[in-house]
Structure 1
Amino acid sequence: MRFSRPVQEFPMSAKKILMLVGDYAEDYETMVPFQALLMVGHTVHAVCPGKQTGQSVRTAIHDFEGDQTYSEKPGHNFALNFDFAQVRAEDYDALLVPGGRAPEYLRLDERVLELVRNFATANKPIAAVCHGAQLLAAAGVLAGRSCSAYPACAPEVRLAGGEYVDVPLDQAHVDGNLVTAPAWPAHPAWLARFLELLGTRIVHEG
């Protein structure tokens, strides 16, 4: 039996991506994008305010089990691979914002908001999922933009001057340099759209 082998074209186009995380970021929305983007050859710096390389953030697993909102369970300890204090927006090609509970308090950090604004002003690709929209709204980068998010974040998107787009839980939405999705079931669509914005092409040989 012969299997097709995925190959990343144009290896010199690998990008450098900043991922903003914090304690109780959603587990899947942190671990899966981090590993998937590394797998296709990109560099990902996972950082958290007040923490350094080698330290960890705790994650939380949000699941959809028929209740009126998601349930929450303990996740993994996710190791950071870069110091937040050394981050400069101009050193990166794109920004990734996982969801979970972390965006709720990360948006109180002015340095975090400044970073988000720098990526938006430079029109660099920004990927946010689930509650990641809270950070975009607080940074003031959603005015006049359309954005998906966890449905409970819709009021924040609208109050920030954005248009909340209600897409199925497993789908993503693209508006220019911004790719967003409602939750981790959208990973296949969300990450595929993000790779397109990054200029990454994956082909199958055989």
Structure 2
Amino acid sequence: MEKFTTLTGIAAPMPLVNIDTDMIIPKQFLKTIHRSGLGKNLFDEMRYLADGSENPDFVLNQPAWREAQIIVAGDNFGCGSSREHAPWALLDFGIRSVISTSFADIFYNNCFQNGILPIVLPEDAVKVLMEDAKNGANARLSIDLEAQTVTASDGQEFRFDIDPHRKHNLLNGLDDVGQTLQKGAAIEAYEAKIAQSQPWV
């Protein structure tokens, strides 16, 4: 998993509330078990018209936000089903962080397992960042995970809370498998001990 330390990038404003996982990646794209290739179908039903062409009104199709790495969203982002394909699609598109006043629990947890930083901030802070994001490529947000801050293009700084264990894992690029592999020597020692004391196992 890629480490997350600092990020300065374009933020896409998505002021909708209750953006659910089916909106993020519709169910027909869940057949794959591969994490790559889902970015082209991110927000598929909002991003494309019935004939398959791009919807020019959708934010990520507009030149100012095509290279967005951050989303500033309305309340309750990631609600709905528990599909891990949702963070996979965001990451494959290039999104490394989502900022909102609240997240659905399962989506929030899945983000940390995939190198995405979900940031919870008060409504007034999100409003400031949403307005800043509307300036597109002319305004970039900066996120510092170590300092736990988000800085708007005008220098306004907002501090966010994060569980220390999750922070450590993101800073070091560790998902659950990565954490387990850190204990590789201890696991091998235990297996060798069991092989001697209980060879029938």
Of structures 1 and 2, the one with the larger relative CO (CA 8 A, separation 6+) is 2
Which structure shows the bigger proportion of residues in strand conformation?
1
Which structure shows the bigger proportion of residues in helix conformation?
2
Structure (1 or 2) with the larger CA radius of gyration: 2
